[in-house]
Structure 1
Amino acid sequence: MPAALWIIVAAAAASISLALGMRQTFGLFLLPLAAEQGLSPSVLGTAVAFQNLVWGLAQPVTGALGDRHGAGRVMAGGAVLMALGLGLPALFPNPPMVFLGIGILVGIGVSCTGTGAVLAAVGRAVAPDRRGEMIGLASAGGSLGQAALVPLAQSLIGQFGAVATLGLLAVTMLVLVPVGRSIEWSAPRLLAGPRPTGLSGLPALARQALRDRGFALLTAGFFACGFQLAFIIMHLPSHLTLCGMPAGMGAMALMTIGLFNIPGSWLCGKMSGLIRPELALGWIYLLRSIAIACFALATPSETGALVFAAVMGFVWLGSIPLTSAAIARRFGVADLGALYGVCFLSHQLGGFLGAAAGALLLQYAGNYDAFWPVMVAVGIAATAMNWTIRPPRAAPA
């Protein structure tokens, strides 16, 4: 590929790396913020749950803005919002600022800098025969942030405390402002096909897409992805601590997820060019459900936690390139950011319920034992949904 296309892929990977890597650290703050500031774990847990909902609601809008005006500008604006969202609770560590900053501003910021708008830019820049592979490669590069930021945040919390660490992470997010100029700073120019619908036509576009049975099932199945992953991101460190493991084990598990997701995301993107994306998605959800069931039934151990993290990591963001490829096959790439956002809203509704239910269960039951069977059942349902999707009748323009 030309060097310019590699720059776009690298910029997308950098944005996803910082945005999603930053989000993966929130579970590490759950107990330290309670010890330092007296904030109940349910405060941060509820804020992160609401963040998932805000992210989902904002994603169709920011995706449509990126489709119409360029993903780079959307990315830069989102980086500023994420910096503010992390900075507010660092300066004013109280429940309203945690909710406003981490719950609302970070939620909107991640919708700008995460997988939606930036991966749509990659999809528009790359030829169809390599689209899934390059989206998978950008997603894999994004895992470097999780692998690097989780242990870094754990170390900073130990040295400087949770509040100071939030402030340092806020400053780090501003790196994405200049990176935005490298990906798609002006309105995208498509060589063929329809122009992007834009923000004004988003409601009609969403209604039309959801009338397609395959897209509706794809969207419903994406709920399970958000439900499972948000719970693990937010609550796996606390679960391991409650099982008697060292405090650093949670960070090690999240880092392992990030490391194994690097080859996993690339392979899943590659698979989208070899088999139907919906079939591969079904296998991902089934593998996750089996891994969760084995982890819940096994005797807690550090080795078991790392094996579970490795398996989950291999299919962690693999659903993203496959979902993007499935949408592009049905509708083309002109509105890929907006349509991915519509689908992603279901993902984040699942994330909201997964993170919030876990926080409430921890507060009232003191453990997560009752939640693992629900995680398995949701994943199996998503497998069935994806395996019943029929191929599109005709290739999009």
Structure 2
Amino acid sequence: MAIDERKWRTPAVVMVAGCVIAVIGMGTRGTLGLFLEPMSSSLSWSRETYALAMAIQNLLWGILLPFAGALTDRYGASWVISGGAVFYALGLWGMSIADSVLMLHISGGILMGLGSAFAAFNLAIAAMVKVVGAERRLLVMGVGTAATSMGQLIFSPMAQGMISSFGWSDALVYLSFISLLMISFAVLLPSNPEVRGEESTDQGLGEAIREAFSQRGFILLMIGFFACGFHVAFIGIHLPAYVTDLGLAPQVGAYCLALIGLFNIAGSFLSGMAGSRWSKTYGLSWIYLGRALVILGLLVAPKTALTLYVFSALMGLLWLSTIPLTTGVVAEVFGVRYVATLYGFVFFGHQVGAFIGVWLGGVFYDRYGSYDGMWWAGIVVGVLAALIHLPISEKPLPRVVAASAVA
């Protein structure tokens, strides 16, 4: 059976559309750390206030992504991502006019959390992997993840330029309009859940979820992904403020985020290729251990712009390189028919870590006037995650082996 009845909706079209959605969605979202200091200063808020809004956003994203994934696996990604883009744009616009803590938490927290879940790059990548054969899936995951970093590379300096030229409020309005462009590309994604390279299965969604949660490796993958969310959310939101606390120009923080995006393009590609040849779970262990070492290097090195640029480049190599490997483990063990849903559950662990990382960052700073405690916590979390991934099995379930053999 064809992947889609419309012949123009080829794998190449789906790949381009999915990558553009990832660029816009994660690019605009990756700029939110640039607004922490100017919004907090302008509205006389504590950093915890802004951090809590971002924490709510991350947690809601994690809670809702399994449901968004289930809708995508059942009906296709087009309508799901289009609806999410509307919520996402409304959230950015609401932040631009927020004059109270409640308004900030509704717009930046709830609305953007809804938008992040239903217009998630994860859903676009899931749509992409379903239109290619099994031998290309990890590479496609790497390409999709690299696209998210391209967005960060493009949008971070752009957003900082808009903040400097027009102010934080107008900058958020412009980002809101840009985010609506995701709808134009979402309609190019497949509108049915067929999978290339796997025989159709009679397994239902509920059965797939129960099967996954019966596997110890799936639970460990969820727990281990906590570390990724903790690191990415804390650094993404608080690094620009950390830079200005050191007496450096705000542009340095924007360049740091851009460098993370730039080097993660390479990191994601390398991660996808490495996962095709070697153990994905061992690769994840090395990535988390590497993050711990990079953070340790930042703490002991002189705090200069050069140090921060080197830190950002090294962290960029490890930034979202976890995603192709984590998604790859889920797809290899359980198949890709319900990969969006199952990855959504794993991603919930990521977003719990994101909630704690971004919120505690604000709490620590407001209480101690420093982020040092959070950096040390990041080291501990990284080491623990490296250990957690070691016993996870990558062996496909017998059902998946049989389905692939028939296909």
TM-score range, shorter chain: over 0.9
List runs of 5+ in structure 2 lacking aligned partners. 1-7
Which 10-residue stretch deviates more, 302-311 or 9-18? Answer: 9-18
Does residue 152 (structure 1) correspond to residue 158 (structure 2)? The answer is yes
- Note the 1:160-175 alignment, pairs <5 A: 160-175=166-181
The CA deviation string for residues 332-362 of structure 1, in whole angstroms up to 9 with x for no partner, is 0110000000000000000000000001111
Task: Report the counterpart of residue 127 of structure 2 in structure 1.
Answer: 121
Of all paired residues, the percent bearing the same amino acid is 36
Q: Secondary structure at the match of 2:10?
A: helix
Equivalent positions of 1:1-397 (< 5 A) are 4-184=10-190, 186-190=191-195, 192-194=199-201, 197-198=204-205, 201=206, 205-392=208-395, 394=397, 396=400, 397=403
1:148 CA drift (Å)? 0.9
> Deviation of residue 63 (structure 1)?
0.6
* TM-score normalised per structure 2: 0.93
Query: Residues 60 and 3 from structure 1, CA distance in 2 versus in 1: closer, same or farther, beyond 3 angstroms?
Result: closer
Change (3 A) 1:375 1:124: same
Return the alpha-carbon distance in structure 1 between the equivalents of residues 168 and 11 of structure 2: 39
Q: For the Cα contact (< 8 Å) 1:124–1:190, is it kept in 2?
A: yes
Q: What is the CA deviation profile of residues 354-380 of structure 1, one whole-angstrom value per residue up to 9, with x for unaligned ones?
A: 000001111111110111111011111
Q: 1:393 to 1:174 in 2, by over 3 A?
A: closer
SS at match of 1:387: coil
Please say if residues 23 and 152 of structure 2, whose CA atoms lie closer than 8 Å, have aligned partners that are also in contact.
Answer: yes
Q: Distance in 2 between matches of 1:318 and 1:173?
A: 24
Q: Distance in 1 between matches of 2:394 and 2:211?
A: 17
Q: Distance in 1 between matches of 2:343 and 2:194?
A: 19
Measure how far apart 1:214 and its partner are. Answer: 1.2
1:15-41 Cα offsets, whole Å, 9 max, x none, are: 111111112111111111123233332
Runs of 4+ in 1 over 6 A off after TM superposition: none
Aligned residues of 1:68 and 1:197 also touching (Cα < 8 A): no
Q: Which shows bigger deviation, 350-359 or 188-197?
A: 188-197
Deviation at 1:3, TM superposition (A): 8.3
> How far apart are the structure 2 equivalents of 1:190 and 1:30?
42
Q: Which amino acid aligns with 2:377?
A: V
The one-letter amino acid paired with 1:11 is: A
CA distance in 2, matches of 1:368, 1:255: 21
Question: What amino acid does structure 2 have at the position aligned with 1:338?
Answer: T
Query: Contact between 2:271 and 2:322, CA under 8 Å: does it hold in 1?
Result: yes
User: Which one-letter code corresponds to 1:296 in the other structure?
Assistant: L
The alignment of Structure 1 onto Structure 2 pairs a total of residues equal to 391
Distance in 1 separating the partners of 2:9 and 2:114: 31
2:137 and 2:287 mapped to 1: Cα distance? Answer: 20
Deviations 1:95-131 (A, max 9, x none): 1121011101111211222232211111111110110
Contact 1:231 1:355 in 2 (8 A): yes
RMSD: 1.6
Deviation per residue, 1:209-254 (Å, 9 max, x gap): 1220111111111000001111000111111111121121111100
Residue pair 1:93, 1:163 contacting (<8 A) in 2 also: no
**Consecutive unaligned residues in structure 1, runs of 5 or more:** none
Instruction: Flag the 1:195–1:394 CA change in 2: closer, same or farther, 3 A.
Output: closer
Q: State the alpha-carbon separation in 2 of the partners of residues 34 and 6 from structure 1.
A: 43
The 3-state SS of whatever aligns with 1:371 is helix
TM-score for the superposition, normalised by structure 1? 0.95
Letter in 2 for 1:269: G
Structure 2 CA distance for partners of 1:279 and 1:300, relative to 1, 3 Å? same
Deviation at 1:205, TM superposition (A): 4.0
| Equivalent residue letter for 1:44 | Y
